[in-house]
Amino acid sequence: MRYAFITALLLSSAVLVAQSPTPAGFAPSSVESQAKAEKVFLDSVTPASARKWLAALTEEPHVAGTPAEKKLADYVLARFKEFGLAAEIVRYDVFLNHPKDVSLKLLAPYEEELSLREEPYVIDKDSTQEGMFPAFHGYGASGRAEGQVVYVNYGSPADFAALSDMGISVEGKIALVRYGGAFRGLKAKEAQDHGARGVLIYSDPRDDGYGAGEVYPDGPMRPESAIQRGSVLFLSHMPGDPSTPGWPSTAGAKRIARAQMTNVPKIPSLPISYGEAEKILRRLGGPVVPRGWQGGLPFTYHIGPGAARVAMEVQMDEGLKPIYNVIATIPGSVEPEKKVILGNHRDAWTHGAVDPNSGSAAQLEVARALAAALESGWKPKRTIILASWDAEEYGLVGSTEWAEEHAADLQKNAVAYLNGDAVVTGPELEMSGSASLLALAVEAAREVTDPKRGGSVGAGWESRQRAAWATATPIDINAKEDAAFSARLGPLGSGSDYTVFLDHLGVPSWDFGFNGGYGVYHSVYDNFRWMEKYGDPEFLYHAAGARLWGLMAMRLASADIVPLRYSTYARDLQVDLDNMRRDVIRRARTQAAPGEADAKPALNADFAPVLTALDELRAAGEAADRAADAAIKSSDAATVKRINEALTSVEAAFLDAKGLPNRPWFRHMLIGPGLTTGYAPWPFPALQEAVEAKDSAMFTREVARVVAALKAGTERLHTAAGR
Amino acid sequence: MRYAFITALLLSSAVLVAQSPTPAGFAPSSVESQAKAEKVFLDSVTPASARKWLAALTEEPHVAGTPAEKKLADYVLARFKEFGLAAEIVRYDVFLNHPKDVSLKLLAPYEEELSLREEPYVIDKDSTQEGMFPAFHGYGASGRAEGQVVYVNYGSPADFAALSDMGISVEGKIALVRYGGAFRGLKAKEAQDHGARGVLIYSDPRDDGYGAGEVYPDGPMRPESAIQRGSVLFLSHMPGDPSTPGWPSTAGAKRIARAQMTNVPKIPSLPISYGEAEKILRRLGGPVVPRGWQGGLPFTYHIGPGAARVAMEVQMDEGLKPIYNVIATIPGSVEPEKKVILGNHRDAWTHGAVDPNSGSAAQLEVARALAAALESGWKPKRTIILASWDAEEYGLVGSTEWAEEHAADLQKNAVAYLNGDAVVTGPELEMSGSASLLALAVEAAREVTDPKRGGSVGAGWESRQRAAWATATPIDINAKEDAAFSARLGPLGSGSDYTVFLDHLGVPSWDFGFNGGYGVYHSVYDNFRWMEKYGDPEFLYHAAGARLWGLMAMRLASADIVPLRYSTYARDLQVDLDNMRRDVIRRARTQAAPGEADAKPALNADFAPVLTALDELRAAGEAADRAADAAIKSSDAATVKRINEALTSVEAAFLDAKGLPNRPWFRHMLIGPGLTTGYAPWPFPALQEAVEAKDSAMFTREVARVVAALKAGTERLHTAAGR
């Protein structure tokens, strides 16, 4: 369900990617055999094959918990086995919902049944919606709600604060929210917390409709009737099966009832199209919306309430339903207990040609080509796991339950998690992830040809990073010279299956996709025709995606020294921390009473201990990388083993067992999804929570935990460096 | 014709307004009598009276060069005389145009005559357009043009560069430009320079129509049929009568023919509504527009060309026509040769209730209340001139010709120019001007009560300045503490009558207005009903405007030491220079080849000499202010005279006789309208031109001239300080 639309752009301003021997982590003696295996792998990947997988994967809609999704699990299992890989289906029974009876009615100023279905187009067979649920929200509550409507913009805490300043409340009303910004579950939560009776979330044409490009079926963007389905889980509080919060949904597991669940809404919600939303929005009274709230419909938006009254009826079939992860395993020859995991979900809200099956198709192609490499004699040192997750759309359920079940093993033995999801919507590579994977990702991406634009996909990525850095990075006019550009992997937020690995278990994680104009997210038009017409007509980027993804895995699994490089880790954190420091000063400025020249900051935030700890981490990371480079040359087995053990334990050292202040499942002290954003990351999430809460005491407490986490990671790096 | 929509927000980050004895410039012995006179003045102003003036001034449309405008000149003259002021009409014959025959036709994909008239509303008598010209452009060329259409966004140089990158040209086509950003004449110039046959400029609903607020007649913003008339003079090249470039249009003056004029378009142009523009825009083919080019109409914009073909027919009645400035004079009692000038234009494109007659009404109220103060025994030391300018809309013609005629006297004797124009569109005070007038403006604005919001209009202004400063000013996280806020007068660009005074003659200038939602700029709906319904129903802000404006004049005319304060002048310039320094670094970054870490700046820009000169100006300004404060106490006549002479000569010292590189009429080295913006200011305009031209040699040359100008001003301040 990853949504590129909200990808946060956080950029660095320090030195270049540290150059290590290429490919990083390989002893001179291993380079040739690895190169040979990689060539077999790369040459085995074909667009035609990816196309075939995508066609099969998108034959029918396959929502988690439905027979169609079980059928696809069997299909993927059969493919893995056909390629010669060991594979199995892992079933969990988890709490899910499907719509039983949903409807939405405009009651006033005139009666009209509003549509929860999308327009079928003759030229697009999949748009007929055979076998498709009507629009609903995953984990949406059952209930009936009726009332006047208030437009709350994106439904963020800031939007609700602005509403309150205007003296308007959603209490007892239906909140009409537009998609964009935060994860939709957090929109529902804000509306619920402010007393709304029900929530309608619509896609504004300015954001991903005609305001952003030509609409389907004439273009890739969202047409008038398209509906963004999706989960309304409070994703940033805790993902996974809400009936087993924090533990795996294994047979006989303890369960909690819906009423006890704290991360699902209690008021009904529905997603709607802008065609239907317009009928409501045009009938809102009250003040004209504040600057920035106006969308793309051709009239002046008002806050409401007003003439419009609506009634929503939402009856869900909810309870335990089976989901199916498909797990293929390529055992390691030297350290079989060490694991490199490639995961992609398989369940979709509709046919899901982009989300997630562009990724699933690429993943099958990775599997097929890895099998070819194995066939040619390649023997990875470490185990590679290919995971086809189920029920990601509801809240990363399949990956979370599996990783919770194997938590101890993964935390000790997982080298890295490589995520796919909506892998192709166009030609532009985006990558995010743990800073330790930057050097590897850059090297790998430089070896994958851009099939349409020429050069490598890595060069294109670096060039776009540079352009964004040039525009966004603050300039210090008092510095002797301008900061130098360096590429970075943007921090991971949430909204896809890397979450449990990185944020709960501390496994270095990486996520990627090839992006372009994509406005049909979670609608019936995210189907094979869309992909053939707009996303990747020749399936060239599916192939490029498979190549990049597989190459990352091959190197992680085979390198003599695991290619986790720590010399840039502190640099990226420093950029993030500097952004937070600027933000704190900005808030102090804007909170100060008008006219006060010597405004006191609202928050007493002393960043000094973190800055010191970052300096230590920087030095330790550089020393560890130097030690790794030296060990590669010396090939001393004990040293190599010590370094590998140390390097694979650094990320987990950044966890704190008590977790983040208001959401203990999230344990990483340096990164997490924003509490109020869901998709977008918050670096130093505990500090950011203190900043949001304007709580100086909390800030000081959390600084101590952040520093402890940084020091713990620094210690591991000292061990790697032999100190 | 000033247009608040594009007001540049340039903010400072240094120390507070230097506090001087209040009111600045008055000896203890003068304070009481001045206070008494000011009270008489302030109490004399009434909203009812302002309302009466506005009703009379907006009785009918009064375009420059028409009998209706002559009638209004007589009306204003009669009022001045009725108040007991000496006044006269000053006539110039200047080059103007009026529409004879204009039409616009859609030829394909179907034929339709497009409207150049606005919709009349029964509830608004003025909207019937009796006696109104159809839509046309002042100084628009006569001609016929036919062709396909290309959409060029705002028509800026950057927009045309983007077009060229897309491989699309307007050569031989009709350019469809949207209003916003630069002055419309510069849009026409860009289109002409790129080979367009004709230009259509339309108002996009996102910018000042329904995307910005409720539209007329239900709200203050631009409705579907509303047309923004206006001049297409190349305003940033030279204002005034284009038949007498640089010299006054006095009887017998040398004239140049239209063909010789370099600052008027040669291709025909027309302004159109978004209702009509939509009919063309919907039929454009070609690529989808780049990010940021999409407007508020409910479909995806395309660049063109495509199915749409249009024919424009523009026949103008052009030639010399009479214009009438009305000049009232209140002679000074001590230094009658020294002049404080309050100017506002009177001509309008339509009825002009906002633009300019909210200002004209306030000006008449200033005149009436000043007369009352004189009646009560007040004797200003210096002469006050009230000027009601004509033909401002065509290109600041009335003010420019008058000031060119009196150039030598004004340059020597004008203490300050205080401009009004569209003085009221709502409740929020905005002020711009020369930094030397900041202290006076702040003091005066603090004494004018905000009639609806309470407190003073000055306190509201400072509070909004602070909020904007807090948001926009860069943060230096390495500084010991955050910069302190200080209010500033934003730099003046162009688009109103201060231009000749500040940019050509070096007279300290100030401009102001009370602003709110105003989308009917230069349309038939800018009329009395609009003002009564939306702008200022009780005429309270007309009264507040008159009070503030008159108070400024009274203090400038009566202070023992002229209230021109120079201690903040260098501070504001420093902020502007720092912005330019950041911009230069940003350009170097974005121009650098992708992947190059050590990008070389495209421009070799050494700012050091300017920084040094600013330091000297700062010290000299502070010394001059200290000397003025000391002299006020000592009351030594010779010292006071020396200081007054020096202080009133500083601004003119910033001129360079050779003028700016490509536009010698503009002579101020520290401020000017942007060459490619027209409305928006360019601080250090010659340096900015070098930056735009990427011309390092030019930059170095212009730095020398800027430093010379700064040093010349510094010298005058030394004289003031007695050094």
Which of A214, A471, A597 lies at the smallest CB-CB distance from B484?
A597
* A590 shares its domain with A540: no
Q: Does A71 touch chain B (CB under 8 A)?
A: no
DSSP B141-162: PPEEEEEEEEE-TT--HHHHHH
- The closest alpha carbon to B307, from B112, B109, B145, B114, belongs to B109
pLDDT band at A600; cut points 50, 70, 90: low
Rounded Cα gap, residues A167 and A508, in angstroms: 46
* A250 shares its domain with A294: yes
Query: Residue A267 is part of a domain; what is its CATH number?
Result: 3.50.30.30
Q: Does B475 touch chain A (CB under 8 A)?
A: yes
Which of B300, B581, B590 lies at the smallest CB-CB distance from A214?
B300
Identify from A477, A518, A591 which residue to disrupt to test chain B contact, counting B C-beta atoms within 10 A and taking the largest count.
A477
Which residue does chain B place closest to A596, by CA atoms? B485
Which residue does chain B place closest to A212, by CA atoms? B300
Active site residue: B392, B404, B462, B651, which one? B392
Which of A298, A586, A597 lies at the smallest CB-CB distance from B485?
A597
Which of B467, B486, B592 lies at the smallest CB-CB distance from A590?
B467
Find out whether A316 and A141 touch, Cβ atoms under 8 Å.
yes
Rounded Cα gap, residues B489 and B418, in angstroms: 13
A575–chain B nearest CA distance, Å: 12
Which of B298, B477, B594 lies at the smallest CB-CB distance from A466?
B594
- Interface pTM (ipTM) of the complex? 0.93
- Of B510, B526, B558, the last residue of a domain is B558
Contact pairs from chain A to chain B, CB under 8 Å? 112
Contact check, Cβ <8 Å, A459/B595: yes
- The closest alpha carbon to A502, from A488, A514, A489, A492, belongs to A492
* A501 shares its domain with A480: yes
Which residue does chain B place closest to A215, by CA atoms? B300
* A537 shares its domain with A665: no
Rounded Cα gap, residues B301 and B320, in angstroms: 42
Rounded Cα gap, residues A113 and A108, in angstroms: 11
Does residue B330 form part of some domain?
Answer: no
Rounded Cα gap, residues B261 and B264, in angstroms: 6
B615–chain A nearest CA distance, Å: 16
* B82 shares its domain with B106: no
* B89 shares its domain with B114: no
Rounded Cα gap, residues A130 and A279, in angstroms: 27
- Vertex A189, ends A239 and A670: CA angle to 5°? 45
Query: Residue B360 is part of a domain; what is its CATH number?
Result: 3.40.630.10
Per-residue pLDDT tens digits for A173-188: 999 999 999 999 999 9
Residues from chain B contacting residue A598 (CB–CB below 8 Å): 484
* Neighbour count for residue B124 (Cβ, 10 Å): 17
Contact check, Cβ <8 Å, B299/A210: yes
DSSP B84-140: T-EEEEEEEEEEEEEEEEEEEEEEESS-EEEP-SPPPBTTBGGGG-TTPPPS-EETP
Indicate whether A7 pLDDT > 50: no
> If contacts are CB pairs under 8 Å, which of residues 107-166 in chain B contact chain A?
none
Rounded Cα gap, residues A24 and A16, in angstroms: 16
In this prediction, residue A150 carries a pLDDT of 98
In this prediction, residue A2 carries a pLDDT of 64
Indicate whether A17 pLDDT > 50: no
Rounded Cα gap, residues A491 and A464, in angstroms: 17
Residues from chain A contacting residue B211 (CB–CB below 8 Å): 294, 300
Query: Residue A625 is part of a domain; what is its CATH number?
Result: 1.20.930.40
Structure tokens, B67: 């009998």
The DSSP call for residue A655 is B
Which of B484, B586, B592 lies at the smallest CB-CB distance from A475?
B586
Per-residue pLDDT tens digits for B651-688: 999 999 999 998 999 999 999 999 999 999 999 999 99
Strands A137-138 and A230-231: parallel
Does residue A7 form part of some domain?
Answer: no
Which of B470, B477, B585 lies at the smallest CB-CB distance from A582?
B477
Q: Does A214 touch chain B (CB under 8 A)?
A: yes
* B141 shares its domain with B174: yes
> If contacts are CB pairs under 8 Å, which of residues 293-312 in chain B contact chain A?
294, 296-300
Which residue does chain A place closest to B577, by CA atoms? A477
A1–chain B nearest CA distance, Å: 25
Find out whether B363 and B342 touch, Cβ atoms under 8 Å.
yes
Q: Does B29 touch chain A (CB under 8 A)?
A: no
Which of A211, A215, A486 lies at the smallest CB-CB distance from B294?
A211
- Of B524, B558, B592, the last residue of a domain is B558
* A450 shares its domain with A541: yes
* B586 shares its domain with B659: yes
pLDDT band at A6; cut points 50, 70, 90: very low
Rounded Cα gap, residues B338 and A588, in angstroms: 47
In this prediction, residue B2 carries a pLDDT of 64
Find out whether B206 and B215 touch, Cβ atoms under 8 Å.
no
Contact check, Cβ <8 Å, B588/A482: yes
Residues from chain A contacting residue B213 (CB–CB below 8 Å): 288, 300
* A551 shares its domain with A657: no
Does residue A304 form part of some domain?
Answer: yes
Rounded Cα gap, residues A484 and A306, in angstroms: 54
Find out whether A375 and A84 touch, Cβ atoms under 8 Å.
yes
Residues from chain A contacting residue B299 (CB–CB below 8 Å): 210
Residues from chain A contacting residue B588 (CB–CB below 8 Å): 482
In this prediction, residue A14 carries a pLDDT of 34
Tell me if the bond preceding B23 is cis, omega within 30° of 0: yes
pLDDT band at A480; cut points 50, 70, 90: confident
In this prediction, residue B13 carries a pLDDT of 34
Residues from chain B contacting residue A223 (CB–CB below 8 Å): none
In this prediction, residue A21 carries a pLDDT of 54
- B88 annotated active-site: no
pLDDT band at A13; cut points 50, 70, 90: very low
B188–chain A nearest CA distance, Å: 27
Which residue does chain B place closest to A300, by CA atoms? B210
Per-residue pLDDT tens digits for A519-530: 999 999 999 999
Q: Give the helix/strand (H/E) hosting A145.
A: strand A143-151
Residues from chain B contacting residue A286 (CB–CB below 8 Å): none
Does residue A8 form part of some domain?
Answer: no
Does residue A403 form part of some domain?
Answer: yes
Amino acid at site A130: E
- The closest alpha carbon to B647, from B715, B574, B551, belongs to B715
Identify from A475, A574, A584, A598 which residue to disrupt to test chain B contact, counting B C-beta atoms within 10 A and taking the largest count.
A475
Does residue B563 form part of some domain?
Answer: no
- Of A491, A523, A558, the last residue of a domain is A558
In this prediction, residue A106 carries a pLDDT of 98
Contact check, Cβ <8 Å, A590/B475: no
For A168, what's the count of Cα atoms within 13 Å in the CB-facing half-sphere? 26
pLDDT band at A581; cut points 50, 70, 90: very high
Q: For chain A, what percent of residues have pLDDT higher than 90? A: 92
Instruction: Please list the ranges in chain B whose pLDDT falls under 50.
Output: 4-19, 594-595, 597, 599
* B57 shares its domain with B194: no
Residues from chain B contacting residue A219 (CB–CB below 8 Å): 288, 300
A8–chain B nearest CA distance, Å: 18
In this prediction, residue A131 carries a pLDDT of 79
Which of B469, B476, B599 lies at the smallest CB-CB distance from A476?
B476
Q: How far is CA A583 from CA A204, A579, B305, in A?
A: 29, 6, 45
* Neighbour count for residue A593 (Cβ, 10 Å): 9
> If contacts are CB pairs under 8 Å, which of residues 327-366 in chain B contact chain A?
none
Residue A190 CA, chain-centre distance (Å), reads: 21
Supply the mean pLDDT for chain A: 95
Identify from B204, B469, B477 which residue to disrupt to test chain A contact, counting A C-beta atoms within 10 A and taking the largest count.
B477
Contacts of A210 (CB under 8 A, 6+ apart): A221, A296, B298, B299, B300
Burial per residue of B693-715, b for 16 or more beta-carbon CB atoms within 10 angstroms, e otherwise: eebbebbeebbebbbebbebbbb
Identify from B291, B446, B475, B534 which residue to disrupt to test chain A contact, counting A C-beta atoms within 10 A and taking the largest count.
B475
Does residue B46 form part of some domain?
Answer: yes
Q: How many domains does chain B have?
A: 3
Indicate whether A333 pLDDT > 70: yes
Q: Does A543 touch chain B (CB under 8 A)?
A: no
Catalytic residues of A: 392
Residues from chain A contacting residue B16 (CB–CB below 8 Å): 597
> If contacts are CB pairs under 8 Å, which of residues 560-589 in chain A contact chain B?
578, 581-582, 585-586, 588-589
Contact check, Cβ <8 Å, B597/A294: no
Query: Domain limits at A644?
Result: 569-721
Does residue B333 form part of some domain?
Answer: no
* A494 shares its domain with A607: no
